[in-house]
Amino acid sequence: MYEAFRSEFGVAVANTLMEHLPPAGWGDVARQSDIVALKTDFEGLRADFGRLHGDFDRLRSDIDAKFDSARKNIVNEINATVTDKLNSQLRWTIGLFAAQFIALAAIALR
């Protein structure tokens, strides 16, 4: 092709034309339909990522809710255990004070 252009139009025109051709052949040149197909693929990927983002937001919310529930359950369990132990200790303390008071009263009344 170069030889035909060189003989018909001259070396300068043939060289200029060859410089404007793709270096590796026409297979490396994107057609408009290729670009449209890529754009469609990218739009599909963008939609997929949007759905994934929503899925991750829902998952994060579910995990947060479960952790909050677990934390509340643990706090309630600790509070119930501490309250039970304090009530038990208070009953023992009152019982001991009552026993000491009765013993001192008995000693004093002798």
Whole-number mean pLDDT of the chain? 92
Residues 100 and 50 in one domain: yes
Residues 24 and 40 in one domain: no
Specify whether the CB–CB gap between 15 and 3 falls below 8 A. no
Task: Tell me which long-range contacts 29-36 makes (C-beta under 8 A, separation of at least 24).
Answer: none
Residues 104 and 61 in one domain: yes
Residues 25 and 74 in one domain: no
Domain count for the chain, please give it. 2
Count CA within 13 A, CB hemisphere, residue 76.
6
Residues 23 and 43 in one domain: no
pLDDT surpasses 70 at 102: yes
Tokens of 46: 């963008």
pLDDT band per the 50, 70, 90 thresholds, residue 26: low
Rounded-to-integer distance, Cα 60 and Cα 22, Å: 50
pTM strictly above 0.75? no
Specify whether the CB–CB gap between 5 and 13 falls below 8 A. yes
Q: 24: domain range? A: 1-30
**Residue-level pLDDT at 25:** 66
Residues 41 and 21 in one domain: no
